[in-house]
Chains A and B, each alone.
Chain A
Amino acid sequence: MTDHTLSFINNRRVRDVFWQVAVWAAVVGLIAYFVRNASDNMAKAGIASGFDFLGRTSGIELPFLLTGYTSQSSILDLLWAGVVNTITVALVAIGAATLLGFALGIARLSRNWLLSSLAGFYVEVVRNIPVLFFVLFWYFAVIAALPGPREAIGIFAVAFLSNRGLTVPTPQASEAFAVAALVSIVCVVAQIAISAWARRRRDRTGRGFPLWTSGALLVAGVPLLAFAAAIAATPWDIPVLRGFNYRGGFVLIPEFVALVAALATYAAAFIAEIVRGGILAVPKGQLEAARALGLGNGQVLRLVVIPQALRVMVPPLTSQYLNVLKNSSLGAAIGFPELMNVFVGSALNITGQAVEIIAITLAIYLVIGLAVSALMNWYNAKVALVTQ
């Protein structure tokens, strides 16, 4: 071998290219081998390929629907109904888990020994048990053990929780809500405009503006009032007990209630730890400095602790929210018609086209997951430390 060839094969860039090509060639070769086997096997078993099956009539009844799907709809509509159910259950569970998790996390930091120990106990118990356990436990042990519709637990006499699920009232018109939503949007825009104006004025003249008061009024107060008015103005279909079951309203089936409860109680333990860690991560000197500047307790919390704690909390919260989304697939274990259940369960049974169905399912979870993390990354960039 001449010196020239030696220096060529020892050249770093040449070697880099070689290894990349080699790895990719191996991967592509392996995939090609798998694809050939798969097409052989499927041809032998007489399984069709392609995505034509999406247009076929599904013939499946779904017990929980938010879309206009019927058993005469296409499999594509079935898929969409599953996606909507997955997103609904994940959003409701994320909201509940966040509330419960923040409450637990703050309780764990309480000076009150009993309260903080109880919260700690909850976290230690829940974190060391599988999430599927919670799903099954809530469904088979808690919801199934609730009283029947005749002895249902009433919630303000408008919603009823029983072993048939949670029956909630439904609005019969949506105009008032549209008006309330419009009012809320106008208020939020106004608050954004006011805060921009206030910042400019503060920079120019040094005069402050009670932004928090106007914010509380415009972002929370007025919209709340608007929606309260809308609720009062809209005729409601309130469930009424007729014979052995409720008439009217919308039934959140037991599977839905159990899944939301399980996902929320499970994720709350992890969120509590994130909240605790985030607040503890704010250096003590920051608190002391804020007090030395004469800030009150509320101001210390609002201006010093929360902004810095959020910065630490957002990345792990993102992965917890993604976990809730992923764990919503466990609805398949109790028969809640979410994406995994209707698609990998029912649609696969009708068509037998495993490859396409798995590919579509994975792609949908990927898209939803990336959307959630993009949203959280955007929020993270907003709260992140801006250094000079």
Chain B
Amino acid sequence: MTTRLGSLLRFSRRRLFATPLDTVITLVCCWGLARLVEPLARWVVIDTTFRGTTRADCTGAGACWVFVRARLGQFIYGFYPVDQRWRVDLVAVLLIACAALLAVKRLPHRGALAAELIVVMPPVVLFLFYGGFGLLLVETRDWGGLMLTLFIAIYAGLLAVPLGIVLALGRQSRLPAIRTLAVMFIEPIIAVIFLASLILPLIVPSGIGVDRLARAVIGLALVIAAYMAEAVRGGLQAIPKGQYEAATALGLRYPATTVLIVLPQALRIALPAMTNEFIALLKNTSLVLIVSILDLLGVAQAALADPAWVGMTLEAYVFAGTIYWLLCFALSRASLRLERRAALR
């Protein structure tokens, strides 16, 4: 006990009160914290309202989480029909089951299974969300909330990774004409989203409509592909020249060298960087708000306009912000772990 107290004292002597200036800094920080934390704690925890169903139940001085509870369905599913929400839940269960299955390290043919799932799952999920073949059709304009945030992030990511690999290989290429093709991304993301949503319907043959959501996903995927390409390029540059020379000596041509020798190593090195790009993508899905597609942030924003729930601005933002933060923070920790594991190899 005394030693713990002693080390605590030593710690505060060294790290909090080492010099007069340090003492002043510590005291100012404490004062600021007290000023900030006390009202915050009151608002978030102490003076809050949980019980009730309508705006009239929000009587406390603090946050009124009744609002979030009443709107939870919309925050998660958007305007997806209530009696069809089981389909979204089913997708969530399926994805969690797949992830759990793949997390088993001793599973035979784990890599092959993962590859098969990546090919099979996207169309299955799309079918479950959209419907058809006996399931009720749910137009994409009814999708929204957290479900849409994750949908856009994952599908844009699925498009962006292969495109990014091709772009990275293009930039590495000896062929200058292909290299110039790949240098074209210095634009704001919403400019590219606008580009996709305004130009895509024009350039397809008339009579074919391109879904609004699909346009936004394609626009986002184009931008993220450029960033993914940078990550992959980092991996490619880390491959020793000897690997290429050995492959050439074995008689392998460019496609075989790339697919069998270079990419497996480069992608493993680039994985943490690519995870970081995915985090950026997850944050940037919120930008689809600009073309009136309501993901989690969009639904929160739209909920503010409800006359039945006036004055719930902070509650809506705090809730949406916390969800984004939890998702991105968890992913960034995962990326750190990947990086450490890669460093150990």
Contact = CB atoms under 8 A, between A and B. Distances in A.
Contacts of A136: 297, 301, 317
Interface in B195-209: 195, 198-199, 201-206
A346 to B, nearest CB: 13
Contact of B186 (A20, A329, A333, A365): A365
B325 to A, nearest CB: 5
Contact of B25 (A34, A115, A332): A115
Given A24-B177, A112-B25, A114-B26, A38 B202 contact: yes
B324 interface: yes
A326 B223 CA distance: 12
Contact of A358 (B14, B22, B195): B195
Interface in A247-278: none
Given A133-B324, A366-B186, A358 B194 contact: yes
Given A112-B25, A114-B30, A115-B29, A369 B186 contact: yes
A365 B194 CA distance: 14
Interface stretch (A121-129, A147-155, A293-301, A309-317): A121-129
Contact of A111 (B22, B30, B190): B22
A140 interface: yes
Interface residues of B, number: 54
Given A41-B206, A128-B329, A110 B25 contact: yes
A329 B329 CA distance: 26
Interface in A1-25: 16, 19-20, 23-24
Contacts of B186: 322, 365-366, 369-370, 373
A317 B339 CA distance: 23
Given A38-B203, A113-B16, A365 B191 contact: yes
Interface string A29-40: 000001101101
B159 interface: no
Contact of B290 (A332, A354, A369): A332
Contact of A130 (B25, B177, B188, B284): B284
B187 A362 contact: yes
Contacts of B72: none
A76 interface: no
B174 A16 contact: yes
B94 interface: no
Determine chain A's interface SS by DSSP, over half rule.
helix
A141 interface: yes
Contacts of A124: 329
Given A27-B181, A38-B203, A128-B332, A112 B190 contact: no
A340 B195 CA distance: 12
B297 A141 contact: no
A78 B118 CA distance: 48
Contact of B283 (A115, A129, A322, A340): A129
A207 interface: no
Interface residues of A, number: 58
Interface in A135-182: 136-137, 140-141, 144-145
Q: Which of A112, A115, A330, A361 has the most CB of B within 10 A?
A: A112
B135 to A, nearest CB: 32
Contacts of A145: 313
Contacts of A140: 301, 304, 313, 317
A369 B188 CA distance: 10
30 contacts: A19-B175, A20-B177, A35-B203, A37-B203, A37-B206, A42-B202, A115-B26, A118-B33, A125-B325, A128-B279, A129-B321, A130-B285, A136-B301, A136-B317, A137-B317, A140-B313, A141-B313, A141-B317, A145-B313, A322-B186, A329-B191, A330-B287, A330-B290, A344-B191, A344-B194, A362-B191, A365-B186, A365-B187, A365-B188, A366-B187
Given A112-B18, A328-B188, 20 more contacts: A20-B176, A24-B177, A35-B203, A38-B202, A110-B25, A111-B22, A112-B15, A113-B16, A128-B329, A130-B297, A130-B324, A133-B317, A141-B313, A141-B317, A327-B188, A330-B190, A330-B287, A355-B199, A358-B198, A362-B195
For the complex of A and B, 5 pairs with smallest distance between CB atoms? A128-B328, A34-B203, A113-B15, A326-B188, A329-B188
Interface of A: 16, 19-20, 23-24, 27, 34-35, 37-38, 40-42, 44, 110-115, 118, 124-125, 127-133, 136-137, 140-141, 144-145, 322, 325-330, 332-333, 340, 344, 348, 354-355, 358, 361-362, 365-366, 369-370, 373
